[in-house]
Structure 1
Amino acid sequence: MAAPPPPRALAAEPRRAPLGAVGVSLPRPRGRVRSAQPREEILRGYRQLISTNYNSRSLLCHPCSCAHTALADTRIAYEPEVDKHTGVLAYDLVQGSLVQWNSFTDKSIPDPPTAVLLHGILGSRKNWGSFAKRLAQEFPMWQFLLVDLRCHGDSASIKKRGPHTVASTARDVLKLIVQLRLNPRVLVGHSFGGKVALSMVEQAAKPLARPVRVWVLDATPGKVRAGGDGEDHPAELIEFLRRMPAQVSSKQEVVDALVKGQFSVDVARWVATNLRRNTPIGPRSSSNFSWTFDLNGISEMYNSYEDTNLWGVVENVPRGVHINFLKAERSLHRWALEDMQRIHTAEELAADEGGGVEMHVLEDAGHWVHADNPDGLFRILSSTFRIETTIRGMQD
C-alpha cells in the first residue's frame, strides 16, 4: 500500500505578515494533491488542522536582553489516523507562519527546511511542544517534526518488532521521514534521543540532507554514567514503575509512591504526566489512569542506551555533517574528563575532513535542559537555524 502524503492545511485562513514586514497579509496558496483517491476520502484521512494563535509580544533574551519579536499564528498539523495502521510513529508537525505545503502541489517552490526534535526515555513529543512553537515563531520559514518514539506516548499503541534498541528507534524515525518525504536539515535529540540522532546519521544515506546539523543534548556517544550523588537513576525508576499496577486511581497516587520510594518530587511529578485518564465503562464505574507507554519495551531501550557506542560516528564524521554536543551544567549524567577530551580531539579531526564537531555547555540547567533553562537553550540552538536559513537563502 502506498504511503499516505503528509498532512496539509485544508482551508487555512489568510495569514498575517511578520511584524515589521513590508506589505500586506497574503493568503496561503491552496493547490490540489495528486492522488488516485477521491478528495472526500483524503479529507477523511486527516485530523483537522489546529491553528494556535499567539499575541505578538517581545521576548527578552537573558543575559543579552536583545528583543525577539514573536510571530503570530503558528500552526500544528497532526498525523493522519491511517498512519497508525502502517507502522508510522505518532508525530506533530509545528510550522512557522511562512511555511507553505508544496511537496505535492508546486515543485517550483523549495521545500521548507525541517528540524526533527526527539525526546528522551519516559518522555514524549509533548516535551518539545512549547519549545518548538517558540522556534517556529522566531524562524517562520521552518517546520519542526516532533515524534513519539517507539513504546512512548501515542506510538506505544503501534506494535513494533524487537529488539527495542537505539538503532531500531533511529530506523523508525528514518522511515517516518521517508514516508513524509522530508529532508531534515537539523536533528535535535535529548538524552536517549541524542543517541538516536547519532544513530540516524550512522545509518542514513538519502533520507538526510547535506549539510545536516545534529544536536546531542546532555548525552555522550558512549558510556552512560547516570545517577550518583543521590540522583535518580533512570534504570531504577523504570523498574520501580514496572512493579506498579497498570492502572491507578490518580496521578497523586503515583507521585506519593515514587517519593516514598526515594525518588525526587520533581521526577515523580514529571513521570505522572505520562498517565492518561481511562474512559469509565458503565454509569457507576469510576475513571482511573493508565500509562501512555510500554514499560517493558522502554526498559529494553534504556539498556540499549547504556550499551550503544557511537564514538565511531563522532570520530569519523561524514562530510557535510556537523555534530554539536551540549552538556548541562548540573547534568544527571556524569561527563567524564576522557569524554570531554575525546570530543575536543574529534573537533580537530572533523575540521580537516569537511565535517564538524563542537562542544557547548548550558549554564544553570540540569539534565532536562529544555525545562530547566529554555532561554539559554533557545539562544544556543538559534545559531543553527540562523546559519541554515542564511545558507538556504544563498542557495535559492
Structure 2
Amino acid sequence: MNESAQPPVLRTEPISAAGTPPERWVAILHGIFGAGRNWTTVARRLVRARPEWGALIVDLRQHGGSRGFAPPHTLAAAAADLPRAFAATGLPVRAVLGHSFGGKVALELVRSHAESLALESLWLVDSPPGAHAPGGSAWEVLEALRRAPGPFPGREAGVSALRGLGVAEGVARWMTTNLEERSNGWVWRIDPEDMEQLLGDFFRQNLWGVVENPPPGLDLHVVKADESSALDEEACRRVEAAVARSGRVHLHRVAGGHWVNADNPDAMLELLESALP
C-alpha cells in the first residue's frame, strides 16, 4: 500500500549563546524576497545579550532552504507550516518576530494557531496588517524578475538587468543574494510564480483584528521604520488606538528604512533586549 508523501518541513537554524541552554526561543520570519540568513546578525547579537533566549531562524516556504512545498502558496499555508517546523525542532518557541511579509505570516499564525502554541510575544517589523491593492517596490521587483529571468554571466549582470528595469541600485544589489550559480550561468533561486501567489495573498488579507485584539497572554509589538512607507501614518494611528485600549499592544518607532535589520540593527537589538519577556 502506498502512503501519501509527507509534506516537507521548513528549514530552520537554531542560534544560542555558547554554554547557555536557552529557556525560550524566538522564531524570526523574513520578508518576501529574503531568507532567514538576513536576520542572522541581529539574532547572534540578541542571544549574546539575552542568553536565556535562543533565536530560531526560519526559511519560509519556497524561500532559502525550504523548497518543494505544494500550492496554494498563501499566508494561511505559510503560517500552517510553522507549528510543524517548531515541533520538529523540539524547542519551546515563545515569541515570533516577522519582518514585512513575515510579519503578516506571524499575524496569520496567531489568528489560526494561537490555541496550539504558547506564544508570549509577537513582533511586527515594518509590516502593514491591512489589505491593500498590489503595488509598491516589492510588486515592481516581482515584475522585473519576470522580465529578467536570466541566466546571467555573473552577479553584476543581474544587477544591471534589474537596474535597466527601474529597480533601485541598493535593492538590485540586495536581490543578487537570490542568485545561484548553475551550469548555464547565474539564475534566480526564487520562482516569480510562487512569489506572486504569496505576495498577492499578502495584499489581500486583512489581519487588523489580531493587532487590535490580540489573544490573552500575548504582547504585540509593532515596529515602524521612520524612513519607510510600508507602515503609513494612518496605520500607525490605528495601532496607537489599540495601544490606548490595551496594555498589551506597543508601537515603537526606529530610525532607518524598511530593511531596518540592516539599516539600524542597534535599534532592533535594543528593543528586543528590553521588551522580550
Do both share a fold (TM > 0.5)? Answer: yes
Which whole-Å deviations, capped at 9, do the CAs of 1:323-380 have from their partners, x for residues lacking one? 111110111425042x2222122123333xxxx11111002x0100101111111111
What does residue 357 of structure 1 align with?
249
Q: Aligned-pair distance for 1:143?
A: 1.4
Give the Cα–Cα distance (whole angstroms) in 1 for the partners of residues 111 and 19 of structure 2: 32
How well do the aligned residues superpose, as a CA RMSD in angstroms? 2.1
Residue 382 (structure 1) aligned with residue 270 (structure 2): no
Q: What pairs with 1:134-145 in structure 2 (closer than 5 Å)?
A: 134-145=45-56
Task: Report the residue type matching 1:270 in the other structure.
Answer: W
Which structure 1 residue ranges, 5 or more long, are not aligned?
1-84, 101-110, 281-286, 389-396
TM-score of the aligned structures, taking structure 2 as reference length: 0.91
What does residue 191 of structure 1 align with?
100
What does residue 151 of structure 1 align with?
62
Deviates more, 1:197-206 or 1:367-376: 197-206
Paired residue total: 273
Q: What pairs with 1:71-82 in structure 2 (closer than 5 Å)?
A: none
Residue 96 (structure 1) aligned with residue 17 (structure 2): yes
Give the Cα–Cα distance (whole angstroms) in 2 for the partners of residues 263 and 346 of structure 1: 36
2:198 to 280, 298, 301: 301
Q: Which has the higher contact order (CA 8 A, sep 6+)?
A: 2
2:117 to 191, 205, 208: 208
Q: Aligned-pair distance for 1:136?
A: 1.6
SS in 2 for 1:151: coil
CA contact (8 A) 1:214 1:321 kept: yes
What does residue 140 of structure 2 align with?
236
CA contact (8 A) 1:275 1:291 kept: yes
Q: What pairs with 1:24-63 in structure 2 (closer than 5 Å)?
A: none
Give the Cα–Cα distance (whole angstroms) in 2 for the partners of residues 201 and 209 of structure 1: 10
Which whole-Å deviations, capped at 9, do the CAs of 1:143-187 have from their partners, x for residues lacking one? 1111111111111xx322222111211111122112223332211
TM-score of the aligned structures, taking structure 1 as reference length: 0.65
What does residue 292 of structure 1 align with?
189
Which structure 2 residue ranges, 5 or more long, are not aligned?
1-5
Q: Aligned-pair distance for 1:303?
A: 0.8
Residue 217 (structure 1) aligned with residue 108 (structure 2): no
The structure having more radius of gyration, on CA atoms, is 1
Give the Cα–Cα distance (whole angstroms) in 2 for the partners of residues 97 and 170 of structure 1: 30
CA contact (8 A) 1:170 1:197 kept: yes
Residue 174 (structure 1) aligned with residue 65 (structure 2): no
SS in 2 for 1:306: helix
Q: Percent same amino acid at aligned positions? A: 35
What does residue 3 of structure 2 align with?
none
CA contact (8 A) 1:226 1:234 kept: no
Greater helix share, 1 or 2? Answer: 2
